[in-house]
Structure 1
Amino acid sequence: MGGRSFLKIHPQDNALVALKDLPEGTIIRCDGRVIVLRQEVKAKHKFTLYALSKDAEVYMYGVVVGKVNEFLEEGSLLTVDNLRHATGGFHMTDRKLEWQKPDVTRFKDATFLGYHRSNGQVGTANYWLVIPLVFCENRNVHTLKEALEEKLGYAVQSKDYSYEVDLLIEKYKKGATVEELLQIDFSGEKRKIKSNKLFENVDGIKFLTHEFGCGGTRQDSDALCGLLAGYITHPNVAGATVLSLGCQHAQVSILRVEIEKRDPHFDKPLYIFEQQQEGTEDLLMQKALKATFCGLVFANSQVRQPAPLSKLCIGLECGGSDGFSGISANPAVGLVSDIVVALGGSVILSEFPELCGVEQELSERCVDENTAKKFIQLMKSYNKQAEDVGSGFYMNPSPGNIRDGLITDAIKSAGAAKKGGTSPIVHVADYPELANRQGLNLLCTPGNDVESTTAEVAAGANVVLFTTGLGTPTGNPITPVIKVSSNTATYQRMQDIIDINCGTIIDGEESLEEAAYRILDYVIAVASGKETPKSVLLGQNDFIPWRRGVSL
C-alpha cells in the first residue's frame, strides 16, 4: 500500500480510505472513474467514490456503515456531520461454513514451551493468585502484597522518578522560576532497582483487587464468582489463595460450583480463608502467608515443556483504534487467527458492541442454527439494554476513534471484526463463560478494553493479541498482552508500550502474510517465556470485572 494514496477495501464499497493526507483538488482514479476531492482528506479518513443522495447508504468492507444526512458530491469527505450510523440489518439464513484455510506449512511442526496442567491445558506463564471474594478483603490483599512481593523478588521494576523530584526541589530552593523549572533537562543517571526471584519457575504472585462481591445484585456476585473461577482454573495459574469475609453475596460455595463447572477434576492448590471464621486479622494473615508461601513452593516445581500450537488460546482485542486498524493490524491478526484455528488451536473474538453491522456475516459463519440464534439474541438484548438508558451501540466510538477516522460504530465494527479471520464460529459464550473450544469462539463482553480483556482471560485466553491505532498500555495480571500497532507513527512514538508494528503494511514494506507470520513468531516466543511483552514489563495488571450492565 506504500505507493498508494487511497484504498478501496471491498469491490462493493462506495467510500475510499485515504492512506496519506490528500489536499483539496487531488485527482483520484478508481474503477475507471476520475474524481476530484472536494475538501482536504486527512490520512485514515474516508471520502465518497460516487455522488450520494440524502439518506443513501455508505458501504465499507462490503457492508453498510452509515447513511448520509445530505446530498454529497463524489470526492466529498465523510464526517460526523454528514454521515450517521446505520447497518444493513440481520436475520437467520443458511450456514456459510466454507473457508479458505491458510497455508500452515511454516508452523505445522512448531511448538512452544509451556506449563502442562493435569487437565490437558498448557499455560504460557506460571502465576500464583491472591484474590478477595469481596471488596472488604482488599486491604488484607494489599497487606499480603506488601509482605510478599518485594521480598520474593516480584516487585515491578518501575521507573524511578525520585531523581527528577530531587532536581526540581534543588532548583526551586535556589530560586528557579516556573519557566526555568519547565525547561529543566532530566537526562541523568537514575537509581535502578534490582531484585532476584526466590522461585525461578514462578513468574509472579498476582494480587487481584476489585469493588464487587456484595451490595450489588446476586447476578453480579454470581458473575464475579464465575470470573474468579476462570482465573483460578486458568492454565497460566498454578494455584490460588482466596480471602473471604464470610457474609457477602459472593459465597465460597458459589465459587466452588463455578470452579467445578470449568474443571470437574480440579486439583490445583486452593487455600480459602474466611476472616469471620479465623478470628483476628493476625491469625488470618499468618495462615494466608504460610499457605501462599507453600503454594509457591509447589508452583516452583512446574517447568516449561514443549507443546503444540493447538494448545494456544488467543484472545483478540483492540483499543484506541484508528482508521488504519481495519486494514493493517486487525486483518494481520485475523490471518494469525486463521492459522491458529487451522492448527487446532482456539481464538476468542469479543467486544459485542464492536460487532454491530457485521451480525449477518458472523451469524452465517456459526456452525449451527442454535449457535447463530444465541449470537443474534445476545447482540439484540445487549443493544436494547443500551437503548433503554438512552444510548446504543451507535455511541461506541470514542472521541479518539472519531478523530482518527472511525466516525460511526459500523465503520469501527466492520474493521474490528477482521481480527476474527474467516473460519467458522464454533461456539458463542455469554460472560463469564468459557470460550476456549478449538476454533473461533465469540464471547459477549463490552467494548471497554480492560473489562473485555479481563473476560477473555477468564474465558481461557493464554495469550492476548491487542491491536491499537492510538496506543494504550492495557495489560492483564496473568496472561501476556501483546500490543500490535496499526501505523508506524504510533509505534515509533510509543515504543515503551507497543510490541509490534503493522504500519509496515500501510507503508508497503511487507505483505499481510509477512506481518502475520512475524506476529505468530513473536506469540510463540512469548508463550515460551523467551520474549516479554511491554505490558508485562510495565506491570500493567489491569483487572476490571464487568458489572453486567451498559458498558460500551
Structure 2
Amino acid sequence: MAIDTNSSPQTIASDSAGHPSLRVHARDNVRVALRDLAAGTEIEDGNEIIRLVEPIRHKHKFALCDLKTGDTVTMYGVTVGRATQPIAAGAAIRTDNLAHSTDSDSTGPGASEAHWQMPDVSAFSTATFDGFHRPDGQVGTANIWLVVPLVFCENRNIEVLRQSVAEALGDDPYRDYKRMAKAMLHGVDDDNPSPLHVSPFPNVDGVRFLTHHQGCGTTDDDALALCRLLAGYINHPNVAGATVLSLGCQKAQIAMLKQAMKERDPEGLRPVHYIEQQATASEEALIREALTTIFDGLREANRVERQPAPLSKLRIGVECGGSDGFSGLSANPVVGATIDRLVALGGSGILSEFPELCGVEHELRARCVDDATAQRFTTLMEAYQRHAAAVGADFSMNPSPGNIRDGLITDAMKSAGAARKGGDSPVVEVLDYTEPATRPGLSLLCTPGSDVESTTALVGSGANLVIFTTGLGTPTGNPVVPVLKVSSNSDLARRMADIIDFDTGAVIRGETSIDELADQLLQLCLDTASARYAPRAVELAQYDFIPWKRGVSL
C-alpha cells in the first residue's frame, strides 16, 4: 500500500527506540504495545498523555481517544474495524469490542505509481546470482528432478519411489530420526552410523516427490486446476524434468496435463515422462520404469552447472503464516522493502493471499498500472468473496485463534499488516490461481490465506524463491523452491532457531532501520539463490505441497 512519511520505516524505527508503544501511522487512533504494560502506565502520543485504564499485553492495541459504538478504528492509516461498544482512551482493543470493517472508497489506478520513490539500490547495481539457465530463458535457483502423481491413488507408489531413491543415493533426510527411534526402542544407539554418500550428481539438488489428495472424485474445474498447477511445477525454472504417474481412470487425465504443459511449454523443451499404471504389466514394472526415467533424468540434469544471472531472472514470492502483532511492524515491512529493491533492480515479486488483502483493496487498486489491471483485481476479489458467502463463510473469519491471541483482532487489521510484504512498487499484473507471472515488477496472485496452499500456488506461478514471515513460528517449506523464514521478533528467532533464517526483531527494539535490514535480507536472497546459503526449511527437508481445491479456503 502507499505509505506516507508519517509511517515510513525510518519513522517506525525511531518511534520505537526506547518507547513502550508505537503509533504506526499519523492517522491511527490506536497504538501497539511493544511490551507488557501495566494499568496506569502513562503513554506519550505527540503532545498528549494517555493513561492506560487496564493492562495491555505486548503486541496488542489500545485506544488513543474515547470511541463510541460504531466509531472507526484506524491502523496503518486504514480502517481495521468498528467499535461494537464504547472503548475508553487507554483501553485494550479486543474481539468483544471491535468488529471487522474496511474502507469503501474506490481510489483509481495509477494514483500511487507516480509517487513511488525507488529505493537506493546502488549497492546492488552490479549484483548477480548463480543459477541454472534453462533452454526457454528461465533461470532456476535449484536443479530438481520432480516425481508427480496425477491422482491420490498413486501416492503409495510415489512413497515407494521416494524411499527407494533415497536409499540408492544415500540421501535420506530422516536418517538421524530413524537412529533416534531405534535407540529409544532397543536402548542401544548406533555408534557407527552409515556415512553420507557422495552424490553422483553434484549439480543436482535432489529428487522431489509430490503427493496430494486430488485428481478424482472432484469437479472438472478442480481437475483442470490441478493439472495447470502441476504444469507450473514441471515447467518451473528450478525443475530439470519430471516423471508423472497416472492410474489411468481418474478425472485428471494425462491428456489434460499434456495440454496444460503445452500452454506453459509450447516448444516441448522440458523432458516429461508419463507412466500409466493400468497400462503397465505390474507394479514392479511401473517402479522399474519410473526409476529408469528418474536416474536417466538425473544424469542429464547433472550436465547443467550454475552460471551468473541478472537479478531480472529472480522472482520472489512473499508469504506469511503464524502472524503476530509485530508482523506488520517489522517482518512484513522489511520484506516489502526487499521486494521494492528487487523491482528497482529489474526483478519481480508476487503477493498472494487475497483474504489477507481485504481492507486494503483501494490502496492496491491505486498502485495498479492501468484500469484493466485494477479491474481484474476487483473482479477476482469480489468473485472470491461471493464464493465464500455462498457457503456461509466470510473473509472476516480469516484470523486464527493464534493471530487473535497475539493482537490481530480483525481480518482488516491482519490484512493491513500483511499487505506490507508487497512493498510500495506499482502492481504490473493480477493473476488468477495457477496463472504464470510474466512481467517484471510486482504481481498479485489470487490464493487462499492458508500458508501451504498459498506457498504452493506462488511456486506454481513462477516464484523461484519464497520469503515467509512469521511471528509465532511455522515450518512451512516447498519441494522445489528455497523458502526463507523471517521472524517478526527476536524471542521467536531464539526459541525456534532451527526454522528461522532471518530476524527482524531489532526493528521493534529501535536498534536498526527497515532499510538496513532490507539490504541484508536481499543479500541473503542472492546467497540462497546461488546455493551459498541453505535455508532451514531445506535443511529440514520441509517439502510441503497442497493444491487449492477451489471450494472455500480462507
What TM-score do you get using the length of structure 2 for normalisation? Answer: 0.94
In structure 1, distance between residues paired with 2:203 and 2:212 = 27
Amino acid in structure 1 at the alignment position of 2:49: V
| Structure 1 position 163, deviation (Å) | 4.3
Deviates more, 1:365-374 or 1:279-288: 279-288
| Contact 1:160/1:190, CA 8 A, preserved across alignment | no
In structure 2, distance between residues paired with 1:324 and 1:158 = 37
Instruction: Verify: 1:102 aligned to 2:144, yes or no.
Output: no
Amino acid in structure 2 at the alignment position of 1:65: V
* Aligned equivalent of 1:64, options 48, 56, 79: 79
| Contact 1:64/1:357, CA 8 A, preserved across alignment | yes
| Structure 1 position 164, deviation (Å) | 6.9
Instruction: Verify: 1:54 aligned to 2:54, yes or no.
Output: no
Aligned-residue Cα RMSD (Å) equals 1.8
Match of 1:67, SS?
strand
Within a 5 Å distance, the mapping from 1:538-549 to structure 2 comes to 538-549=540-551
| Contact 2:107/2:363, CA 8 A, preserved across alignment | no
Residue 144 of structure 2 corresponds to which residue in structure 1?
127
Amino acid in structure 2 at the alignment position of 1:395: M
Residue 27 of structure 2 corresponds to which residue in structure 1?
12
In structure 2, distance between residues paired with 1:189 and 1:499 = 32
Residue 111 of structure 1 corresponds to which residue in structure 2?
128
Residue 386 of structure 1 corresponds to which residue in structure 2?
388
| Contact 1:346/1:436, CA 8 A, preserved across alignment | no
In structure 1, distance between residues paired with 2:328 and 2:295 = 46
Note closer, same or farther for the CA distance 1:167–1:290 as it changes in structure 2 (3 Å cut). closer
Instruction: Verify: 1:148 aligned to 2:150, yes or no.
Output: no
Residue 269 of structure 2 corresponds to which residue in structure 1?
267
| Contact 1:352/1:446, CA 8 A, preserved across alignment | yes
| Structure 1 position 524, deviation (Å) | 0.6
How big is each residue's C-alpha offset from its partner over 1:195-238, in whole Å with a ceiling of 9 and x where there is no partner? 32221111010010111111100001000000000000000000
Match of 2:443, SS?
strand
| Contact 1:160/1:191, CA 8 A, preserved across alignment | no
Match of 1:433, SS?
coil
In structure 2, distance between residues paired with 1:108 and 1:356 = 35
How big is each residue's C-alpha offset from its partner over 1:442-497, in whole Å with a ceiling of 9 and x where there is no partner? 00000000000000000000000000000000000000000000000011000001
Within a 5 Å distance, the mapping from 1:262-411 to structure 2 comes to 262-411=264-413
Amino acid in structure 1 at the alignment position of 2:117: Q
Residue 202 of structure 2 corresponds to which residue in structure 1?
200
Deviates more, 1:450-459 or 1:72-81: 72-81
| Contact 2:109/2:368, CA 8 A, preserved across alignment | no
* Aligned equivalent of 2:221, options 219, 222, 239: 219
* Aligned equivalent of 2:470, options 461, 468, 471: 468
Match of 1:160, SS?
helix
| Structure 1 position 169, deviation (Å) | 6.6
| Contact 1:486/1:501, CA 8 A, preserved across alignment | yes
Note closer, same or farther for the CA distance 1:151–1:388 as it changes in structure 2 (3 Å cut). same
In structure 1, distance between residues paired with 2:426 and 2:553 = 27
Note closer, same or farther for the CA distance 1:371–1:496 as it changes in structure 2 (3 Å cut). same
Runs of 4+ that moved beyond 4 A: 161-165, 167-171, 188-193
| Structure 1 position 193, deviation (Å) | 5.7
Match of 2:74, SS?
strand
In structure 2, distance between residues paired with 1:110 and 1:190 = 45
| Contact 2:482/2:528, CA 8 A, preserved across alignment | yes
| Structure 1 position 157, deviation (Å) | 4.7
Note closer, same or farther for the CA distance 1:55–1:191 as it changes in structure 2 (3 Å cut). farther
In structure 1, distance between residues paired with 2:191 and 2:103 = 59
Task: Give structure 2 stretches of 5+ with no counterpart.
Answer: 1-15
In structure 1, distance between residues paired with 2:249 and 2:105 = 46
In structure 2, distance between residues paired with 1:326 and 1:266 = 43
* Aligned equivalent of 2:415, options 413, 416, 430: 413
Task: Give structure 1 stretches of 5+ with no counterpart.
Answer: 172-185
In structure 2, distance between residues paired with 1:90 and 1:384 = 19
Match of 1:131, SS?
strand
| Contact 1:351/1:444, CA 8 A, preserved across alignment | yes
In structure 1, distance between residues paired with 2:316 and 2:191 = 40
Instruction: Verify: 1:422 aligned to 2:424, yes or no.
Output: yes
Deviates more, 1:160-169 or 1:249-258: 160-169
In structure 2, distance between residues paired with 1:101 and 1:190 = 56
Note closer, same or farther for the CA distance 1:82–1:192 as it changes in structure 2 (3 Å cut). farther
| Contact 2:149/2:246, CA 8 A, preserved across alignment | yes
Amino acid in structure 1 at the alignment position of 2:205: D
In structure 2, distance between residues paired with 1:434 and 1:375 = 16
Amino acid in structure 2 at the alignment position of 1:9: V
| Structure 1 position 388, deviation (Å) | 2.1
Note closer, same or farther for the CA distance 1:263–1:77 as it changes in structure 2 (3 Å cut). same
Match of 2:409, SS?
coil
Instruction: Verify: 1:160 aligned to 2:177, yes or no.
Output: yes
Match of 1:326, SS?
coil
In structure 1, distance between residues paired with 2:183 and 2:342 = 51
* Aligned equivalent of 1:78, options 71, 77, 93: 93
Match of 1:138, SS?
helix
Residue 183 of structure 1 corresponds to which residue in structure 2?
none
| Structure 1 position 168, deviation (Å) | 7.5
Residue 49 of structure 2 corresponds to which residue in structure 1?
34
Note closer, same or farther for the CA distance 1:165–1:200 as it changes in structure 2 (3 Å cut). closer
Instruction: Verify: 1:551 aligned to 2:542, yes or no.
Output: no
In structure 1, distance between residues paired with 2:540 and 2:446 = 28
In structure 2, distance between residues paired with 1:132 and 1:469 = 34
| Structure 1 position 258, deviation (Å) | 1.2
Match of 1:151, SS?
helix
| Structure 1 position 265, deviation (Å) | 2.2
Match of 2:167, SS?
coil
In structure 1, distance between residues paired with 2:431 and 2:194 = 45
In structure 1, distance between residues paired with 2:90 and 2:33 = 11
| Structure 1 position 387, deviation (Å) | 2.1
Deviates more, 1:411-420 or 1:87-96: 87-96
Amino acid in structure 2 at the alignment position of 1:88: D
| Structure 1 position 271, deviation (Å) | 0.9
Aligned length: 537
| Structure 1 position 288, deviation (Å) | 1.6
